């Protein structure tokens, strides 16, 4: 009985212990001594992944505030893969940029701890605490290159706006607690349904504040302004981690709160979220077209993809919820690969993230040009990549729920986004390289990580059935 009480926490404990071991190893490492801190991080993440798989179909709960249902396990596995891929790509960039390895890996692992807690939480207060754990770690990672003013500025902006958004979320929790007398999601949902509180001004205010807090974390318009600056100022490998892991955790918590506790009020919040999703897709796409920095362009691309994910929440139902999970998996593999290439092509002196830096990349790094092309095609939704299946699935969910207008906006914005993805492909293959420095050689470990990402993108695009079945099984007994 005692062991069952801790079952749902075991994956989080594995990552937490790995973070502590990395910190201790860094503290006792002699000056100049090389230590496989990245390997220690991967061992902890692999242990968390194994524990998560063993918890499949068990619906374990811990202390009444955490669950390890299939929905949480699926998202946790996505976050764990994001963490492992980030560590693999980081192995080359940490040494090149002279980053503090122990601090970097420990902070990365603590951010993952916050993400996993956020995904598994069934209590609004624990969601808030987990979100702050994740956010503080990501603030540090954003500004970890303390020698760069741009990095420090990005971290400071992200911190100020993030703290402001967190206050909205906490006030929303307070209002819901004041009306329902509980912060437990199941209890909140049952009270709202039993007492027909749909038109209660206090609860509407609470729901609105929660919506603002979650919209900020997923970079939804008009709460997206932190995203381009933070993405551009952070090291590219951290940007990839932020754009995938943070978004996965935030969307999962968003879906759990609004499609379980607040599902009885769907007629109140769905129209508002409809407008936010439409604006997010349009703004992310239109503004992304005008960017000349690849990191800023992918930042606006990430904003647009957040809008596509919101379609799944609005659609609801088993298809909508499953589409969210599949989209998160496809997007994580794709975006990690794209940002991984940006990170590996940079140098300590310059980021090499301008569009012109990719002119003629086919001549100097044909393998990277090919990989980047596949990742960009997946982001644009071209078959036979994961991005095509993910977009088809989420648009189908919206159409099935009767949101035809929103689906049309999503398809049109996706078509427009193809322009800025193909523009990079054209520059890589059809433009001559100017006098810019040749990008540095890429380590075998990093190339292996990118190849794994590509394999995942193609697998989900060609043979998606099994993962689609897992996604559907993940929502069958939840909510």
Q: pLDDT value at position 192?
A: 87
Contact 451, 43 (CB under 8 A): no
Is the confidence at residue 26, as pLDDT, over 90?
Answer: no
Q: Where residue 47 falls among pLDDT bands split at 50, 70, 90?
A: very high
Q: Where residue 229 falls among pLDDT bands split at 50, 70, 90?
A: confident
Q: Give the mean model confidence (pLDDT) for residues 237-256.
A: 93
At 281, list the tokens: 């897709």
Q: Where residue 291 falls among pLDDT bands split at 50, 70, 90?
A: confident
Classify residue 226 by burial, with Cβ atoms within 10 Å: 0-12, 13-18, 19+: buried
Q: pLDDT value at position 444?
A: 80
Q: pLDDT value at position 437?
A: 60
**How far does Cα 114 stand from its chain's mean position?**
13
Contact 113, 16 (CB under 8 A): yes
CA distance 195 to 179: 11
Share of the chain above pLDDT 70, in %: 95
Mean pLDDT of the chain: 89
Q: pLDDT value at position 353?
A: 74
Q: CB 462: neighbour CB atoms within 10 A? A: 12
Is the confidence at residue 430, as pLDDT, over 90?
Answer: no
Is the confidence at residue 438, as pLDDT, over 90?
Answer: no
Q: Where residue 131 falls among pLDDT bands split at 50, 70, 90?
A: very high
Is the confidence at residue 479, as pLDDT, over 60?
Answer: no
CA atoms within 13 A on the CB side of 374: 25
Q: Give the mean model confidence (pLDDT) for residues 353-378.
A: 87
Is the confidence at residue 2, as pLDDT, over 50?
Answer: no
CA distance 429 to 289: 20
Is the confidence at residue 328, as pLDDT, over 90?
Answer: yes
Q: Give the mean model confidence (pLDDT) for residues 197-224.
A: 88
For 72-85, how does the pLDDT look when each residue is reduced to its tens digit (9 = 90+)? 999 999 999 999 99
Q: CA-based Rg of the chain, rounded to a whole angstrom?
A: 21
Q: CB 400: neighbour CB atoms within 10 A? A: 14
Q: CB 178: neighbour CB atoms within 10 A? A: 11
Share of the chain above pLDDT 90, in %: 56
CA distance 270 to 346: 42
Least confidently predicted of 89-103, 304-318, 338-352: 338-352
Most confident of 146-150, 257-261, 442-446: 257-261
CA distance 82 to 122: 23
Q: Give the mean model confidence (pLDDT) for residues 277-293.
A: 91
SS3 sequence of the chain: CHHHHHHHHHHHHHHHHHHHHHHHHHHHCCCCCCCCHHHHHHHHHHHHHHHHHHCCCCCEEECCCEEECHHHHHHHHHHHHHHHHHHHHHHHHHHHHCCCHHHHHHHHHHHHHHHHHHHHECEHHHHHHHHHHHHHHHHHHHCCCCCCHHHHHHHHHHHHHHHHHHHHHHHHHHHHHHHHCCCEHHHHHHHHHHHCCCCCHHHHHHHHHHHHHHHHHCCCCCCCCHHHHHHHHCCHHHHHHHHHHHHHHHHHHHHHHHHHHCHHHHHHHHHHHHHHHHHHHHHHHHHHHCCCEHHHHHHHHHHHHHHHHHHHHHHCHHHHHHHHHHHHHHHHHHHHHHHHHHHHHCCCCCCCCEHHHHCCHHHHCHHHHHHHHHHHHHHHCCCCCHHHHHHHHHHHHHHHCCCHHHHHHHHHHHHHHHHHHHHHHHHHHHCCCCCCCCCCCCCHHHHHHHHHHHHHHHHHHHCCHHHHHHHHHHHHCCC
Q: Is the dihedral of CA 65, 66, 72, 75 positive or negative?
A: positive
CA atoms within 13 A on the CB side of 355: 18
Choose among 418, 465, 457: nearest CA to 330. Answer: 457
Q: pLDDT value at position 85?
A: 94
CA distance 37 to 26: 8
Higher pLDDT, 117 or 419: 117
Is the confidence at residue 33, as pLDDT, over 80?
Answer: no
Q: Give the mean model confidence (pLDDT) for residues 244-253.
A: 94
Higher pLDDT, 92 or 17: 17
Residues contacting 444, CB < 8 A, separation 6+: none
Q: pLDDT value at position 397?
A: 94
Q: pLDDT value at position 306?
A: 94
Q: pLDDT value at position 197?
A: 67
For 309-327, how does the pLDDT look when each residue is reduced to its tens digit (9 = 90+)? 999 999 988 899 999 999 9
For 377-410, how does the pLDDT look when each residue is reduced to its tens digit (9 = 90+)? 999 999 899 999 999 999 999 999 999 999 999 9
Q: Where residue 1 falls among pLDDT bands split at 50, 70, 90?
A: very low
Q: Give the mean model confidence (pLDDT) for residues 188-200.
A: 80
Q: pLDDT value at position 396?
A: 94
CA distance 112 to 59: 21
């Amino acid at each position: 009985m005692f062991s069952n009480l801790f079952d749902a926490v075991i994956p989080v404990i594995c990552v937490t212990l790995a973070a502590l071991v990395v910190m201790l190893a860094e503290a006792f490492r002699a000056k100049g001594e090389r230590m496989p801190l990245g390997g220690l991080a991967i061992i902890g993440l692999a242990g968390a992944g194994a524990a998560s798989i063993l918890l499949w179909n068990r619906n374990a709960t811990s202390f009444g505030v955490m669950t390890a249902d299939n929905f949480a396990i699926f998202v946790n596995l996505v976050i764990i893969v994001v963490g492992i891929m980030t560590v693999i790509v980081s192995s080359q960039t940490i040494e090149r940029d002279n980053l503090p390895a122990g601090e970097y890996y420990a902070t990365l692992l603590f951010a993952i701890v916050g993400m996993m807690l956020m995904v598994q939480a069934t209590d609004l207060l624990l969601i808030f605490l987990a979100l702050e754990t994740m956010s503080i770690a990501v603030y540090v990672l954003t500004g970890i290159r303390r020698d760069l003013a741009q990095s420090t500025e990005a971290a400071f902006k992200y911190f100020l706006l993030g703290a402001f958004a967190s206050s909205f979320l906490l006030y929303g929790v307070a209002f819901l607690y004041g009306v329902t007398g509980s912060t437990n999601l199941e209890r909140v949902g049952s009270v709202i349904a039993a007492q027909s509180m749909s038109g209660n001004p206090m609860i509407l205010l609470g729901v609105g504040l929660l919506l603002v807090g979650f919209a900020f974390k997923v970079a939804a318009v008009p709460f997206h302004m932190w995203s381009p600056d933070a993405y551009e100022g952070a090291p590219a490998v951290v940007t990839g981690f932020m754009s995938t892991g943070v978004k996965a955790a935030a969307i999962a918590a968003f879906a759990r709160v609004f499609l379980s506790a607040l599902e009885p009020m769907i007629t109140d919040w769905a129209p508002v979220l409809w407008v936010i999703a439409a604006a997010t897709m349009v703004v992310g796409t239109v503004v992304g077209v005008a960017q000349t920095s690849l990191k800023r362009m992918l930042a606006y691309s990430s904003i647009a993809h957040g809008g596509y994910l919101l379609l799944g929440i609005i659609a609801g139902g088993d298809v909508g919820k499953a589409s969210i999970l599949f989209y998160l998996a496809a997007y994580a593999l794709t975006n990690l690969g794209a940002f991984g290439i940006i990170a590996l092509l940079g140098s300590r002196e310059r980021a090499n993230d301008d569009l012109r830096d990719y002119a003629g990349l086919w001549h100097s790094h044909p393998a990277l040009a090919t990989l980047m092309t596949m990742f960009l095609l997946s982001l644009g939704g071209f078959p036979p990549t994961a991005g095509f299946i993910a977009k088809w699935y989420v648009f189908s969910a919206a159409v099935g729920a009767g949101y035809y207008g929103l689906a049309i906006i999503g398809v049109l914005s996706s078509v427009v986004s193809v322009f800025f993805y193909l523009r990079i492909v054209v520059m890589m293959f059809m433009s001559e390289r100017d006098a810019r420095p040749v990008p540095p050689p890429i380590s075998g470990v990093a190339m292996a990580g990118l190849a794994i990402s590509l394999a995942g993108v193609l697998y989900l695009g060609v043979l998606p059935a099994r993962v689609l079945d897992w996604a559907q099984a993940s929502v069958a007994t939840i909510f």
